């Protein structure tokens, strides 16, 4: 399955749960996660979408670490079967 398909399914599931999932474009600050997940009741997190089996680049891992150290939930998604668990985790924080 392609990364684009996984990303589309993430966006659809976030919308089904009443949220939005905009693409995060960060000019001049490479390596940030692909999507911001905004769910009802102020639940949010960041999601890096990858094709199955693909891993984030070192810069991406460094940015994810920075976000986590600041207290922001940050997830790596490389399969549609992970979407529900990631969103459940975001909604529980």
The domains of the chain, with CATH numbers, are 3-91 (3.40.1350.10)
Computed over every residue of the chain, the mean pLDDT equals 95
Distance from C-alpha of 90 to C-alpha of 73, rounded to nearest angstrom: 7
* Rg, Å, the chain Cα set: 12
Q: What is the pTM of this model?
A: 0.93
Contacts of 49 (CB under 8 A, 6+ apart): 3, 6, 7, 10, 34, 35, 77, 78
Residue by residue, pLDDT tens for the chain (93 residues) are 699 999 999 999 999 999 999 998 888 889 999 999 999 999 999 999 999 999 999 999 999 999 999 999 999 999 999 999 999 999 998
């Amino acid at each position: 399955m392609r990364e684009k398909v996984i990303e589309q399914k993430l966006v659809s599931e976030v919308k089904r749960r009443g949220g939005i999932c905009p693409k995060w474009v960060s000019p001049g600050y490479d390596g940030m996660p692909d999507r911001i997940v905004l769910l009802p009741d102020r639940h949010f997190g960041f999601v890096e979408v990858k094709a199955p089996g693909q891993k984030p680049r070192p810069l991406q891992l460094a940015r994810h670490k920075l976000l986590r150290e600041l207290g922001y939930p940050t997830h790596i998604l490389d399969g549609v079967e992970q979407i529900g668990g990631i969103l459940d985790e975001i909604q529980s924080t």
